[in-house]
Amino acid sequence: MSKNKKTLKDNFLEALESYKKREFKNAEMICHKILSINSNHFNSNLLLATISAGNKDFLKSKNFLNEALKIEPKNLSAITNLGTVYKELGKIDEAMKFYNKALEIEPNHTNANYNIGVTFFSLGKIPEAKKYLEKTVSIQSNFAMAFHSLAEVHVALK
């Protein structure tokens, strides 16, 4: 292999650097190039899902996350992100299914517990919300958004 030829890893690092610089179109282009060479590149699918969600294209994000989960079915980040995408699409039952799937793999997963808590709160299921938000802050004591949501729960409970 020529020294001038970039590896997939090099290309992905370039895509990630572009993403960090908020050069989303370039990051997207590089990830698509990687996927044209290796359709099973987990990180490219995950980054494209993130970019799509940032653009509020949740259907596209869902598709990339589903592809990522075909490659790494137990990846907690992809599972919880897919839950969030379903929540954004208004499919609460599907969202909860993925959040709970994450908890089956890792019961102390901060984001899954938090997302279940705030979802229950949005549904008016305050005692259930309290349970999951309390667990979230017990797992990660510096999670400011979880504390804020838990405060809202306490206000709702009076």
Q: How far apart are CA 78 and CA 101, in angstroms?
A: 11
- Fold assignment, 8-90: 1.25.40
Nearest to 17 by CA among 42, 37, 47: 47
pLDDT at res. 4: 59
What would the DSSP string read from start to end of 111-136? HHHHHHHHHHHHTT-HHHHHHHHHHH
Q: Which CATH architecture has domain 107-158?
A: Alpha Horseshoe (1.25)
Q: How far apart are CA 11 and CA 67, in angstroms?
A: 19
Nearest to 96 by CA among 66, 64, 121: 121
Taking only the tens of pLDDT, the chain with its 158 residues reads: 445 578 999 999 999 999 999 999 999 999 999 999 999 999 999 999 999 999 999 999 999 999 999 999 999 999 999 999 999 999 999 999 999 999 999 999 999 999 999 999 999 999 999 999 999 999 999 999 999 999 999 999 98
The residues, any chain, with a CB within 8 Å of residue 62's CB and separated by 6 or more, are: 49, 82, 85, 86, 89
The residues of the chain that CATH labels 1.25.40.10 are 8-90, 107-158
